[in-house]
Structure 1
Amino acid sequence: MEVKRIFRGVSAKLVSDFNVSSMYEHQGNKGSFREGALRDFLASDRMPSKFGLGTGEIVSSHGEVSKQSDLIIFDRLNGIPLLYSDTVQVFPVESVYGVIEVKSKLSKDELFKALENIKSVKSLADDGVVRYVKGPIAYTGKSPRPFGIIFAYGLANNSLESLADNLESWEASEEKKFWPNMVVVLDVGVILHTAGMAYCVTNEQILNSSSIIRLHYKEDTFFHFYSTLLSLSALTELLPVDLNKYFKPSQRIRGNVVKNHEGFTMPDSEEVFRLNSDFIQLLLEYSKSVEKISYRELLIRQFGQLPVGMEESQLESKLYLYDPDSLPGILAVSDAADRPSTDEHASALTLIPAHSIEINGDSYVIPYAYFKPDFFEAIPGRVSG
């Protein structure tokens, strides 16, 4: 039996179903029909059971939300949909393998819309190293970026060549990490990235790609799409979902992931404040000129001794201490014992009290003595109490 013949029949059925959908006058019904036809095929035991199929939005623990995605391939076994109903579905990005944008006729405008949708999904992934726990062991790993495929039932008075030119013009101003993994036009062909003679399909391969290629597979296009979809899904290894990150979300500031930098209050104000981007940038610049210290060293510098009962792993964890003026610890101040811990003068002279924030997975400890009003901004819509 020739497997290609089977998929040629499937392709013909999809085209037939799409032609039937063109009889629907309401665009909403038409869109649901074309997406449903592809989803129904993939859902009919054509994908391994661990891959679920949905539609909707994808969110990150930084409070970001993607544009609406036509088809979302998510982790059915270990993933955690935040909201799942027949009409509204929301997935954490850690549960998503990739997305498929489904189009009727792939014009230049529709191509650009699909590309922006895919970019909105790919931009949710963290670029840095992520710490996570699996069983009794703690790991670090790079968060995978979801793949993105554009699937169209046909052209729109254009050609695969003109679409490739349009894609190339869009990619000229975009980072490679946001580029689509494949563009598919049913019964016409596909557009892929290449590096020399090798096809670049995965996100990692695309980062090393140098050109675009058009492959006119014609009636075998669907076979190539399906096999590539299975490969991309299988090769994407998701990390465990940590919903605690969504309970107290971080924020992306100038491309940096920042956490625990908000929740400050000021005298005579009901507003809630956070450290602003200028101060975050100041910390990052300062960290380039100093070495990390252990938590053990920080405690000794702050208090002159170690608290009882702390575990060795805690004491040896590394952090950045923001201390450009080399402030003394509390015991180094001659009259520290006579001062209450809330004394403003002590705060201005010593390493305590201090606040800890996280930037790109690294801990930064900032003594209150260095906080200035110019380093804070009010959080829109947040009030204390």
Structure 2
Amino acid sequence: MALDWQLSELLENLHTDVQHKLSTVRKSFKHSVVKGDGAENVWVDLFNQYLPERYCASRAFVVDSNNQFSEQIDVVIYDRQYSPFIFHYAEQLIIPAESVYAVFEVKQTLSKEHIEAARKKVASVRRLHVTSLPIPHAGGVYAAKPPIEIIGGLLALENEQKMSETLNRNLEQQKEDKGLLNIGCAADDCFFFYEKNRHEMTVKQHSKATTAFLFELLSQLQSCGTVPMIDIHAYGQWLK
């Protein structure tokens, strides 16, 4: 029996579902912390449901082998297949820097203030030290893999800056900036992404912004490849 399904309808329903959940969280929870946690959970659930199983998404801190920690990150997308350890401490998740693919700040609105907050959080992760060891294989040893360029972004329900020119201006940044945002989404209006080849930000208004954002994120994750092989002994030195 042929199924009467349409890919366009499935993709539209994905966007509608996420936008509805974010709107419900905003209307139902009056306390700002609870509201923020609810919005983070919506995005975490989206990533854990639709990204390939090699990726995992959680709220977390990121640590490096020099005993430096990031700020708390609303959504960290990290490698679960090749990550040798993830710390659970006092109900907090702590992930080694080598395992991280992407980090996101989650806000209710896409605004200049929240763009700056997201940059600060992203930079706190990118400043961390990343180890990388040669990779043994059946035919010998591959050279150590250069650390991946961690994706940084901002996720929101609404876009406060309805003028594309205003949003573009607030997103302007230098390629070398540790807080550069590669990607982001306002579920009700648009998504944006940084084009490496052209060194500029592109903002696209879209009626299904969440789904379009998810496709762009998948493309950026694919370009990252696999995380480097972590130097376990670099972390082990902190054993007293």
Q: TM-score range by the shorter chain?
A: 0.7 to 0.9
Q: Which has the higher contact order (CA 8 A, sep 6+)?
A: 2
**Conserved 8 A contact 2:122-2:152:** yes
- CA drift at 1:24: 1.2
Specify which of 225, 236, 239 is matched with residue 247 of structure 1: 236
For residues 248 and 34 of structure 1, do their structure 2 counterparts lie closer, same or farther at Cα, with a shift above 3 Å needed?
Answer: same
Superposed CA offset, 1:247-276 (max 9, x none): 237xxxxxxxxxxxxxxxxxxxxxxxxxxx
1:134 equivalenced with 2:136 (yes/no): yes
TM-score by length of 1: 0.55
- CA drift at 1:211: 2.7
- CA drift at 1:108: 1.1
Aligned equivalents of 1:138 and 1:192: distance in 2? Answer: 32
**Conserved 8 A contact 2:101-2:227:** yes
Aligned equivalents of 2:220 and 2:193: distance in 1? Answer: 13
Give the 4+ runs in structure 1 shifted more than 6 A. none
- CA drift at 1:149: 2.1
Aligned equivalents of 1:62 and 1:122: distance in 2? Answer: 14
Structure 1 equivalent of residue 29 of structure 2: 24
- CA drift at 1:238: 0.9
Aligned equivalents of 1:177 and 1:157: distance in 2? Answer: 24
- CA drift at 1:41: 2.5
**Conserved 8 A contact 2:133-2:229:** no
1:239 alignment partner AA: P
1:208-247 pair list within 5 angstroms: 208-217=197-206, 219-236=207-224, 237-247=226-236
Aligned equivalents of 2:8 and 2:161: distance in 1? Answer: 28
Where 2:52 maps in the other structure, the secondary structure is coil
Gaps of 5+ in 2: none
Aligned equivalents of 1:3 and 1:86: distance in 2? Answer: 43
1:59 equivalenced with 2:25 (yes/no): no
For residues 53 and 86 of structure 1, do their structure 2 counterparts lie closer, same or farther at Cα, with a shift above 3 Å needed?
Answer: farther
1:36-47 pair list within 5 angstroms: 36-44=41-49, 46-47=50-51
1:34 equivalenced with 2:36 (yes/no): no
- CA drift at 1:114: 0.7
Structure 1 equivalent of residue 120 of structure 2: 116
Structure 2 equivalent of residue 305 of structure 1: none
Bigger radius of gyration, 1 or 2?
A: 1
**Conserved 8 A contact 2:159-2:190:** no
For residues 155 and 139 of structure 1, do their structure 2 counterparts lie closer, same or farther at Cα, with a shift above 3 Å needed?
Answer: same
**Conserved 8 A contact 2:86-2:96:** yes
**Conserved 8 A contact 1:119-1:178:** yes
TM-score by length of 2: 0.84
- CA drift at 1:178: 4.1
Specify which of 68, 77, 85 is matched with residue 73 of structure 1: 77
Structure 2 equivalent of residue 175 of structure 1: 176
Equivalent pairs counted in the alignment come to: 230
Aligned equivalents of 1:122 and 1:64: distance in 2? Answer: 11
Identity of aligned residues (%): 21
For residues 39 and 149 of structure 1, do their structure 2 counterparts lie closer, same or farther at Cα, with a shift above 3 Å needed?
Answer: same
1:48 alignment partner AA: P
